[in-house]
Amino acid sequence: MDQADIKNNLKNVNQWTRIIYMILFTVIFNVASFVIGVVVLVQALFAVVTGGQNGNVQKLGSGLAHFIHEIVSFLTYTTEEKPFPFSSWPEVEPVAEAEVVEAAVEAPAEEADSAK
């Protein structure tokens, strides 16, 4: 790459516009990451209290995960498509209710023998 190409790239308005969008989406990424942390805590508390997950919180978490993926794809130049709010919110497929499986925990044989 010669100096003329570098000068042209530095004068390219599209490059600078993208950099501004990248700064904006980096801030949005950090906010979305914080919200994911809150969603995790809410879902964990809901699971402890009710024994299952909250479908609305699960849908929000799934949408945020897709949104963060779109942001990372834009920031790493994988795509030129700007994420929400410049495009539609990512569509998420409904997730089936996961069953909570309770397993019986057995003490190892050594511990069982020593307990006698």
The ranges assigned to domains in the chain are 3-115
Q: Quick one: pLDDT band at residue 24, thresholds 50, 70, 90? A: very high
Interval 21-46 mean pLDDT: 95
Judge contact between 71 and 32, C-beta under 8 A. Answer: yes
CA-based angle 93:40:61, to the nearest 5? 20
Q: Name the token pair of 99.
A: 């069953």
pLDDT, residue 38, reads: 96
pLDDT per residue over 79-113, tens digit each?
Answer: 999 998 888 888 887 666 554 445 555 656 655 55
Return the higher-pLDDT residue of 74 and 95: 74
Return the higher-pLDDT residue of 21 and 54: 21
DSSP helix/strand/coil, 83: coil
| Dihedral sign (CA 79, 80, 81, 82) | positive
Q: Which contiguous run of DSSP H or E holds residue 64?
A: helix 55-75
Please choose, from the candidates 82, 43, 81, 83, the residue with its C-alpha nearest in 3D space to the C-alpha of residue 62.
Answer: 43
